A and B are shown apart, each in its own frame.
Chain A
Amino acid sequence: MEEKKDKFLKPENEVRQVEAPDGSIIKIDPLKDYYSQEKPEPYKVKEGPVENFLNWARAESLWVLGFGTGCGSIEIPPLVTPRFDMYRYGVQMRATPRQSNVFVVSGYLSVKTLKRVIRTYEQMPSPKYVIALGSCTINGGMYWDSYNTINRLDHFLPVDVYIAGCMPRPEALLAGFGKLKELIKEGKGHKANEYAENFEWYKENQKKIIKDWNMPDYNW
Protein backbone atom coordinates (compact mmCIF):
# COMPACT_ATOMS: atom_id res chain seq x y z
CA MET A 1 0.00 0.00 0.00
CA GLU A 2 1.12 3.57 -0.61
CA GLU A 3 2.53 5.75 2.12
CA LYS A 4 -0.23 8.35 1.84
CA LYS A 5 -3.07 8.17 4.31
CA ASP A 6 -5.89 5.93 3.09
CA LYS A 7 -9.13 6.89 4.78
CA PHE A 8 -10.79 3.59 3.91
CA LEU A 9 -8.00 1.49 5.40
CA LYS A 10 -9.45 -0.97 7.89
CA PRO A 11 -8.05 -1.06 11.44
CA GLU A 12 -6.74 -4.59 10.99
CA ASN A 13 -4.67 -3.47 8.01
CA GLU A 14 -3.05 -0.48 9.71
CA VAL A 15 0.66 -0.37 10.42
CA ARG A 16 1.18 -1.09 14.12
CA GLN A 17 3.77 -1.86 16.80
CA VAL A 18 3.64 -5.33 18.28
CA GLU A 19 5.58 -6.86 21.13
CA ALA A 20 7.32 -10.02 20.02
CA PRO A 21 7.65 -13.05 22.38
CA ASP A 22 11.28 -12.13 23.14
CA GLY A 23 10.22 -8.69 24.36
CA SER A 24 11.40 -6.63 21.39
CA ILE A 25 9.02 -4.21 19.69
CA ILE A 26 8.50 -4.85 16.00
CA LYS A 27 6.63 -2.91 13.38
CA ILE A 28 4.02 -4.79 11.37
CA ASP A 29 2.47 -3.67 8.10
CA PRO A 30 -0.15 -6.37 7.50
CA LEU A 31 -0.61 -5.76 3.78
CA LYS A 32 3.14 -5.97 3.16
CA ASP A 33 4.15 -8.56 5.71
CA TYR A 34 1.31 -11.05 5.51
CA TYR A 35 1.10 -11.27 1.73
CA SER A 36 3.49 -11.92 -1.10
CA GLN A 37 4.86 -8.77 -2.69
CA GLU A 38 5.86 -10.37 -5.96
CA LYS A 39 4.33 -9.12 -9.16
CA PRO A 40 3.00 -11.55 -11.73
CA GLU A 41 5.54 -12.69 -14.28
CA PRO A 42 4.77 -13.17 -17.95
CA TYR A 43 4.82 -16.75 -19.18
CA LYS A 44 7.67 -17.35 -21.61
CA VAL A 45 5.99 -18.54 -24.79
CA LYS A 46 7.69 -21.57 -26.31
CA GLU A 47 8.13 -21.95 -30.03
CA GLY A 48 7.28 -24.36 -32.78
CA PRO A 49 5.45 -27.66 -32.40
CA VAL A 50 5.90 -27.72 -28.62
CA GLU A 51 3.86 -24.58 -28.22
CA ASN A 52 1.32 -25.80 -30.78
CA PHE A 53 0.89 -29.02 -28.87
CA LEU A 54 0.54 -27.14 -25.58
CA ASN A 55 -2.01 -24.79 -27.11
CA TRP A 56 -4.01 -27.72 -28.42
CA ALA A 57 -3.98 -29.27 -24.97
CA ARG A 58 -4.98 -25.98 -23.33
CA ALA A 59 -7.81 -25.44 -25.77
CA GLU A 60 -9.27 -28.83 -24.94
CA SER A 61 -9.24 -28.30 -21.22
CA LEU A 62 -11.32 -25.31 -20.30
CA TRP A 63 -12.47 -25.18 -16.71
CA VAL A 64 -14.98 -22.48 -15.98
CA LEU A 65 -15.09 -20.84 -12.60
CA GLY A 66 -18.56 -20.86 -11.09
CA PHE A 67 -18.76 -17.17 -10.34
CA GLY A 68 -21.76 -15.30 -11.69
CA THR A 69 -21.40 -11.56 -11.42
CA GLY A 70 -24.60 -10.22 -12.93
CA CYS A 71 -27.85 -11.33 -14.51
CA GLY A 72 -25.89 -13.22 -17.18
CA SER A 73 -25.03 -15.95 -14.75
CA ILE A 74 -28.51 -17.33 -15.36
CA GLU A 75 -27.30 -18.39 -18.82
CA ILE A 76 -24.68 -20.70 -17.38
CA PRO A 77 -26.86 -23.35 -15.63
CA PRO A 78 -28.59 -24.35 -18.92
CA LEU A 79 -25.16 -25.13 -20.35
CA VAL A 80 -24.74 -27.93 -17.85
CA THR A 81 -28.11 -29.47 -18.72
CA PRO A 82 -28.70 -32.05 -21.50
CA ARG A 83 -30.22 -29.41 -23.77
CA PHE A 84 -27.00 -27.48 -24.36
CA ASP A 85 -24.45 -29.68 -22.62
CA MET A 86 -21.12 -27.93 -22.64
CA TYR A 87 -19.31 -31.08 -21.46
CA ARG A 88 -19.34 -32.34 -25.05
CA TYR A 89 -16.98 -29.49 -25.93
CA GLY A 90 -14.70 -30.26 -23.02
CA VAL A 91 -15.85 -27.25 -21.01
CA GLN A 92 -16.54 -27.93 -17.38
CA MET A 93 -17.36 -26.05 -14.21
CA ARG A 94 -15.18 -25.80 -11.16
CA ALA A 95 -15.97 -24.36 -7.79
CA THR A 96 -12.78 -22.55 -6.85
CA PRO A 97 -10.42 -20.20 -8.70
CA ARG A 98 -7.41 -22.40 -8.01
CA GLN A 99 -8.91 -25.18 -10.10
CA SER A 100 -10.19 -23.20 -13.06
CA ASN A 101 -8.75 -21.21 -15.94
CA VAL A 102 -11.74 -19.58 -17.64
CA PHE A 103 -13.50 -16.67 -16.01
CA VAL A 104 -16.92 -15.92 -17.46
CA VAL A 105 -17.72 -12.39 -16.34
CA SER A 106 -21.45 -12.68 -16.77
CA GLY A 107 -23.02 -9.28 -17.00
CA TYR A 108 -22.71 -5.97 -15.19
CA LEU A 109 -20.07 -5.45 -12.56
CA SER A 110 -20.68 -3.20 -9.62
CA VAL A 111 -17.61 -1.71 -7.99
CA LYS A 112 -18.03 -4.03 -5.06
CA THR A 113 -18.12 -7.10 -7.32
CA LEU A 114 -15.21 -5.85 -9.40
CA LYS A 115 -13.01 -5.99 -6.34
CA ARG A 116 -13.87 -9.66 -5.81
CA VAL A 117 -13.51 -10.39 -9.51
CA ILE A 118 -10.00 -8.95 -9.61
CA ARG A 119 -9.00 -10.87 -6.55
CA THR A 120 -10.43 -14.09 -7.96
CA TYR A 121 -8.83 -13.55 -11.35
CA GLU A 122 -5.43 -13.11 -9.77
CA GLN A 123 -5.81 -16.35 -7.85
CA MET A 124 -6.43 -18.39 -10.99
CA PRO A 125 -3.45 -20.29 -12.38
CA SER A 126 -2.00 -19.08 -15.64
CA PRO A 127 -2.70 -19.42 -18.58
CA LYS A 128 -6.14 -18.05 -17.87
CA TYR A 129 -8.84 -16.65 -20.07
CA VAL A 130 -11.64 -14.13 -19.58
CA ILE A 131 -14.91 -14.30 -21.46
CA ALA A 132 -16.97 -11.13 -21.13
CA LEU A 133 -20.63 -11.94 -21.46
CA GLY A 134 -23.23 -9.36 -22.37
CA SER A 135 -23.11 -5.76 -23.48
CA CYS A 136 -22.63 -4.49 -19.93
CA THR A 137 -19.03 -5.64 -19.99
CA ILE A 138 -18.41 -3.98 -23.37
CA ASN A 139 -19.74 -0.45 -22.86
CA GLY A 140 -21.88 -0.57 -19.76
CA GLY A 141 -25.03 -1.75 -21.55
CA MET A 142 -28.22 -0.53 -19.96
CA TYR A 143 -26.25 0.51 -16.88
CA TRP A 144 -23.95 2.84 -18.82
CA ASP A 145 -24.84 5.88 -16.67
CA SER A 146 -25.15 4.13 -13.34
CA TYR A 147 -23.21 5.49 -10.40
CA ASN A 148 -22.05 2.06 -9.33
CA THR A 149 -21.38 -0.15 -12.36
CA ILE A 150 -18.29 -0.07 -14.52
CA ASN A 151 -18.50 0.60 -18.24
CA ARG A 152 -15.57 -1.23 -19.79
CA LEU A 153 -14.15 -4.42 -18.44
CA ASP A 154 -10.99 -4.23 -20.58
CA HIS A 155 -9.66 -1.39 -18.44
CA PHE A 156 -9.47 -3.71 -15.44
CA LEU A 157 -8.84 -7.20 -16.81
CA PRO A 158 -7.56 -8.44 -20.16
CA VAL A 159 -10.52 -9.87 -22.08
CA ASP A 160 -10.14 -12.70 -24.58
CA VAL A 161 -13.63 -13.00 -26.02
CA TYR A 162 -16.58 -10.64 -25.90
CA ILE A 163 -20.07 -12.03 -26.36
CA ALA A 164 -22.45 -9.22 -27.24
CA GLY A 165 -26.13 -9.27 -26.41
CA CYS A 166 -28.49 -8.51 -23.60
CA MET A 167 -28.70 -11.31 -22.67
CA PRO A 168 -26.83 -13.63 -25.04
CA ARG A 169 -28.47 -17.02 -25.34
CA PRO A 170 -26.60 -20.14 -24.17
CA GLU A 171 -25.89 -20.90 -27.85
CA ALA A 172 -23.96 -17.64 -28.04
CA LEU A 173 -21.98 -18.63 -25.01
CA LEU A 174 -21.13 -21.96 -26.63
CA ALA A 175 -20.02 -20.08 -29.74
CA GLY A 176 -17.88 -17.94 -27.48
CA PHE A 177 -16.20 -21.02 -26.07
CA GLY A 178 -15.59 -22.19 -29.64
CA LYS A 179 -14.01 -18.86 -30.50
CA LEU A 180 -11.85 -19.01 -27.40
CA LYS A 181 -10.62 -22.47 -28.44
CA GLU A 182 -9.71 -21.12 -31.88
CA LEU A 183 -7.81 -18.25 -30.34
CA ILE A 184 -5.89 -20.51 -28.01
CA LYS A 185 -4.99 -22.88 -30.84
CA GLU A 186 -3.72 -19.92 -32.88
CA GLY A 187 -1.49 -18.99 -29.96
CA LYS A 188 -3.43 -15.83 -29.03
CA GLY A 189 -4.48 -17.08 -25.63
CA HIS A 190 -1.76 -15.43 -23.59
CA LYS A 191 -3.76 -12.51 -22.26
CA ALA A 192 -2.51 -13.22 -18.76
CA ASN A 193 0.86 -12.07 -20.08
CA GLU A 194 -0.71 -8.80 -21.12
CA TYR A 195 -1.94 -8.40 -17.57
CA ALA A 196 1.51 -9.08 -16.18
CA GLU A 197 3.26 -6.75 -18.62
CA ASN A 198 0.85 -3.85 -18.12
CA PHE A 199 0.39 -4.54 -14.45
CA GLU A 200 0.86 -0.91 -13.37
CA TRP A 201 -1.71 0.38 -15.83
CA TYR A 202 -4.30 -2.16 -14.75
CA LYS A 203 -3.64 -1.48 -11.07
CA GLU A 204 -3.92 2.26 -11.60
CA ASN A 205 -7.34 1.85 -13.23
CA GLN A 206 -8.51 -0.58 -10.60
CA LYS A 207 -7.47 1.64 -7.73
CA LYS A 208 -9.09 4.67 -9.31
CA ILE A 209 -12.46 2.93 -9.09
CA ILE A 210 -12.08 0.81 -5.97
CA LYS A 211 -11.42 3.31 -3.22
CA ASP A 212 -11.91 0.82 -0.41
CA TRP A 213 -8.93 -1.27 -1.55
CA ASN A 214 -7.79 -2.98 1.68
CA MET A 215 -5.92 -5.80 0.00
CA PRO A 216 -2.42 -6.33 -1.27
CA ASP A 217 -1.64 -5.35 -4.83
CA TYR A 218 -1.29 -8.88 -6.07
CA ASN A 219 -2.51 -11.83 -4.06
CA TRP A 220 -2.00 -15.43 -4.96
Chain B
Amino acid sequence: MQNAINNLIKKFGASDAIEKKPGLTFITVEQEKAISAVTYLRDMEGYTVLTLLTAVDWIEDGIFQLTYLVNNPELISEIGVRVMIDREKAEMESAHDLWPNVQVYQRELKEMYGINFPGSPRIDENFLLEGWDDKPPYRRDFDTKEYAEKTYFPRPGRESNDPAEYMKKKMYPNNPSDYTNKKYNPNR
Protein backbone atom coordinates (compact mmCIF):
# COMPACT_ATOMS: atom_id res chain seq x y z
CA MET B 1 0.00 0.00 0.00
CA GLN B 2 2.82 2.42 0.79
CA ASN B 3 3.99 1.79 -2.74
CA ALA B 4 0.65 2.87 -4.17
CA ILE B 5 0.62 5.99 -1.99
CA ASN B 6 4.14 6.92 -3.10
CA ASN B 7 3.18 6.45 -6.72
CA LEU B 8 0.10 8.62 -6.28
CA ILE B 9 2.24 11.39 -4.79
CA LYS B 10 4.85 11.04 -7.53
CA LYS B 11 2.57 10.70 -10.55
CA PHE B 12 -0.52 12.70 -9.60
CA GLY B 13 0.80 15.26 -7.17
CA ALA B 14 -1.32 13.87 -4.35
CA SER B 15 -0.90 15.37 -0.90
CA ASP B 16 -2.01 15.14 2.71
CA ALA B 17 -1.69 11.36 3.09
CA ILE B 18 -3.21 10.39 6.44
CA GLU B 19 -2.99 6.83 7.69
CA LYS B 20 -6.07 6.35 9.85
CA LYS B 21 -5.18 2.77 10.76
CA PRO B 22 -3.14 -0.02 9.15
CA GLY B 23 -4.80 -0.67 5.83
CA LEU B 24 -6.77 2.59 5.58
CA THR B 25 -5.18 5.72 4.19
CA PHE B 26 -6.75 8.93 2.95
CA ILE B 27 -5.05 11.10 0.38
CA THR B 28 -6.07 14.31 -1.38
CA VAL B 29 -5.86 14.69 -5.15
CA GLU B 30 -6.67 17.70 -7.28
CA GLN B 31 -9.96 17.69 -9.12
CA GLU B 32 -8.50 17.44 -12.65
CA LYS B 33 -6.32 14.43 -11.78
CA ALA B 34 -8.78 12.58 -9.55
CA ILE B 35 -10.33 10.30 -12.14
CA SER B 36 -6.94 9.39 -13.59
CA ALA B 37 -5.72 8.67 -10.07
CA VAL B 38 -8.55 6.25 -9.27
CA THR B 39 -8.18 4.68 -12.71
CA TYR B 40 -4.50 4.17 -11.98
CA LEU B 41 -5.32 2.61 -8.60
CA ARG B 42 -7.85 0.30 -10.20
CA ASP B 43 -5.76 -0.85 -13.16
CA MET B 44 -2.18 -0.79 -11.89
CA GLU B 45 -2.32 -1.19 -8.12
CA GLY B 46 -5.13 -3.73 -7.75
CA TYR B 47 -7.65 -1.45 -5.98
CA THR B 48 -10.43 -2.96 -8.03
CA VAL B 49 -13.45 -2.49 -5.76
CA LEU B 50 -15.18 0.83 -5.18
CA THR B 51 -16.52 0.62 -1.63
CA LEU B 52 -18.25 3.96 -1.70
CA LEU B 53 -18.36 7.45 -3.05
CA THR B 54 -19.54 10.04 -0.62
CA ALA B 55 -19.49 13.77 -0.03
CA VAL B 56 -18.91 16.16 2.86
CA ASP B 57 -20.18 19.72 2.84
CA TRP B 58 -17.48 22.07 4.17
CA ILE B 59 -19.68 25.12 4.00
CA GLU B 60 -17.20 27.39 5.83
CA ASP B 61 -14.52 26.77 3.20
CA GLY B 62 -16.97 26.82 0.30
CA ILE B 63 -16.07 23.32 -0.88
CA PHE B 64 -17.51 19.86 -1.20
CA GLN B 65 -15.20 17.00 -0.37
CA LEU B 66 -15.75 13.87 -2.44
CA THR B 67 -14.23 10.63 -1.20
CA TYR B 68 -13.67 7.68 -3.49
CA LEU B 69 -12.99 4.75 -1.18
CA VAL B 70 -11.29 2.00 -3.19
CA ASN B 71 -10.44 -1.43 -1.89
CA ASN B 72 -7.71 -3.93 -2.71
CA PRO B 73 -9.11 -7.39 -1.89
CA GLU B 74 -5.71 -9.08 -2.05
CA LEU B 75 -3.84 -6.74 0.26
CA ILE B 76 -6.99 -6.09 2.32
CA SER B 77 -6.27 -2.39 2.24
CA GLU B 78 -8.28 0.67 1.37
CA ILE B 79 -7.37 4.06 0.02
CA GLY B 80 -9.71 7.00 0.28
CA VAL B 81 -9.08 9.45 -2.52
CA ARG B 82 -10.34 12.86 -1.45
CA VAL B 83 -11.23 15.49 -3.99
CA MET B 84 -12.10 19.07 -3.09
CA ILE B 85 -14.54 20.69 -5.50
CA ASP B 86 -16.00 24.15 -5.57
CA ARG B 87 -19.29 24.48 -3.74
CA GLU B 88 -20.73 27.12 -6.04
CA LYS B 89 -19.93 25.24 -9.23
CA ALA B 90 -20.52 21.76 -7.87
CA GLU B 91 -19.58 19.57 -10.79
CA MET B 92 -17.36 16.53 -11.10
CA GLU B 93 -16.28 14.19 -13.83
CA SER B 94 -18.34 11.00 -13.87
CA ALA B 95 -16.67 7.69 -13.07
CA HIS B 96 -19.45 5.40 -14.24
CA ASP B 97 -17.25 3.79 -16.90
CA LEU B 98 -14.81 2.65 -14.21
CA TRP B 99 -17.31 0.99 -11.89
CA PRO B 100 -20.97 0.47 -12.86
CA ASN B 101 -22.11 0.87 -9.24
CA VAL B 102 -20.77 4.41 -9.01
CA GLN B 103 -23.75 5.76 -10.95
CA VAL B 104 -26.00 5.02 -7.98
CA TYR B 105 -23.78 7.05 -5.67
CA GLN B 106 -23.64 9.82 -8.23
CA ARG B 107 -27.41 9.96 -8.52
CA GLU B 108 -27.66 10.16 -4.77
CA LEU B 109 -25.11 12.97 -4.59
CA LYS B 110 -26.92 14.85 -7.32
CA GLU B 111 -30.17 14.68 -5.43
CA MET B 112 -28.95 15.16 -1.88
CA TYR B 113 -26.07 17.60 -2.41
CA GLY B 114 -26.74 19.00 -5.85
CA ILE B 115 -23.37 17.86 -7.18
CA ASN B 116 -23.67 17.28 -10.89
CA PHE B 117 -21.93 14.48 -12.76
CA PRO B 118 -22.52 15.24 -16.44
CA GLY B 119 -22.91 12.15 -18.60
CA SER B 120 -23.67 9.75 -15.79
CA PRO B 121 -26.58 7.44 -16.66
CA ARG B 122 -30.00 8.47 -15.32
CA ILE B 123 -28.42 11.33 -13.40
CA ASP B 124 -31.45 13.59 -13.78
CA GLU B 125 -34.05 11.07 -12.62
CA ASN B 126 -35.51 10.97 -9.13
CA PHE B 127 -33.49 8.80 -6.81
CA LEU B 128 -35.18 8.80 -3.41
CA LEU B 129 -37.18 11.98 -3.35
CA GLU B 130 -40.16 12.53 -5.60
CA GLY B 131 -40.95 16.00 -6.82
CA TRP B 132 -38.37 17.83 -4.73
CA ASP B 133 -38.18 21.49 -5.67
CA ASP B 134 -36.26 22.98 -2.77
CA LYS B 135 -32.55 23.21 -1.97
CA PRO B 136 -30.82 19.79 -1.91
CA PRO B 137 -31.57 18.55 1.59
CA TYR B 138 -28.12 17.38 2.68
CA ARG B 139 -26.53 20.77 2.07
CA ARG B 140 -25.78 22.32 5.39
CA ASP B 141 -27.50 25.60 4.61
CA PHE B 142 -30.79 23.72 4.19
CA ASP B 143 -32.70 24.07 7.46
CA THR B 144 -34.62 20.83 7.79
CA LYS B 145 -36.51 21.90 10.94
CA GLU B 146 -37.71 25.11 9.36
CA TYR B 147 -38.73 23.24 6.22
CA ALA B 148 -40.65 20.61 8.19
CA GLU B 149 -42.47 23.24 10.24
CA LYS B 150 -43.38 25.15 7.13
CA THR B 151 -44.54 22.12 5.19
CA TYR B 152 -45.82 19.26 7.29
CA PHE B 153 -48.58 20.76 9.48
CA PRO B 154 -46.80 20.35 12.84
CA ARG B 155 -49.09 19.43 15.71
CA PRO B 156 -49.12 22.15 18.36
CA GLY B 157 -47.47 20.91 21.54
CA ARG B 158 -48.98 20.58 24.98
CA GLU B 159 -48.69 23.35 27.53
CA SER B 160 -46.43 22.32 30.35
CA ASN B 161 -45.51 23.86 33.69
CA ASP B 162 -42.47 23.84 35.87
CA PRO B 163 -43.81 22.03 38.96
CA ALA B 164 -42.04 24.28 41.52
CA GLU B 165 -43.20 27.51 39.88
CA TYR B 166 -46.70 26.14 39.41
CA MET B 167 -47.12 25.16 43.06
CA LYS B 168 -45.66 28.47 44.24
CA LYS B 169 -48.27 30.34 42.23
CA LYS B 170 -51.02 28.04 43.36
CA MET B 171 -50.24 28.12 47.09
CA TYR B 172 -49.10 31.75 47.42
CA PRO B 173 -50.88 33.61 44.67
CA ASN B 174 -50.42 37.05 46.27
CA ASN B 175 -46.83 36.90 47.34
CA PRO B 176 -44.73 34.11 45.84
CA SER B 177 -41.77 35.06 48.04
CA ASP B 178 -43.70 33.72 51.04
CA TYR B 179 -42.81 30.33 49.76
CA THR B 180 -39.18 30.74 50.78
CA ASN B 181 -39.78 32.82 53.93
CA LYS B 182 -42.35 30.70 55.63
CA LYS B 183 -41.10 28.05 57.96
CA TYR B 184 -42.75 24.70 58.16
CA ASN B 185 -45.57 24.72 60.72
CA PRO B 186 -47.59 21.54 60.98
CA ASN B 187 -50.36 23.30 62.94
CA ARG B 188 -50.93 26.03 60.41
Binding site for B on A (CB under 8 A): 7-8, 111-112, 115, 138-140, 144-152, 155, 205, 208-213
Contacts and interface: CB of A to CB of B under 8 A. Distances in A.
Given A146-B144, A148-B137, A210 B131 contact: yes
B166 interface: no
B79 to A, nearest CB: 33
B155 interface: yes
A211 B133 contact: yes
A166 to B, nearest CB: 15
A152 B155 contact: yes
7 A-B pairs closest in CB distance: A212-B131, A211-B131, A145-B145, A139-B155, A151-B152, A212-B130, A147-B144
Contact of A152 (B130, B133, B137, B153): B153
Given A139-B154, A140-B154, A151 B130 contact: no
Contacts of B58: none
B148 A145 contact: yes
B144 A145 contact: yes
Interface of B: 126, 128-133, 137, 142, 144-145, 147-149, 151-155
Given A112-B130, A147-B144, 15 more contacts: A111-B130, A112-B129, A138-B155, A140-B152, A145-B148, A146-B148, A147-B142, A147-B148, A148-B137, A149-B152, A150-B153, A151-B148, A151-B152, A151-B153, A211-B133
A163 B176 CA distance: 41
Contacts of A144: 148, 154
10 contacts: A7-B133, A111-B130, A112-B128, A115-B130, A138-B155, A147-B147, A151-B154, A152-B152, A210-B131, A212-B131
Nearest to A155: B153
Contacts of B144: 145-147
Contacts of B132: 211
Contacts of A138: 155
Contacts of A8: 131
Nearest to B130: A212
A10 to B, nearest CB: 11
Contacts of B152: 140, 149-152, 209
Nearest to A115: B130
Nearest to A151: B152
A98 to B, nearest CB: 25
B129 to A, nearest CB: 7
B122 to A, nearest CB: 15
A41 to B, nearest CB: 27
A156 B148 CA distance: 16
Contacts of A111: 129-131
A208 B153 CA distance: 10
Nearest to B151: A209
A212 B142 CA distance: 21
A124 to B, nearest CB: 23
A139 B147 CA distance: 15
B143 to A, nearest CB: 9
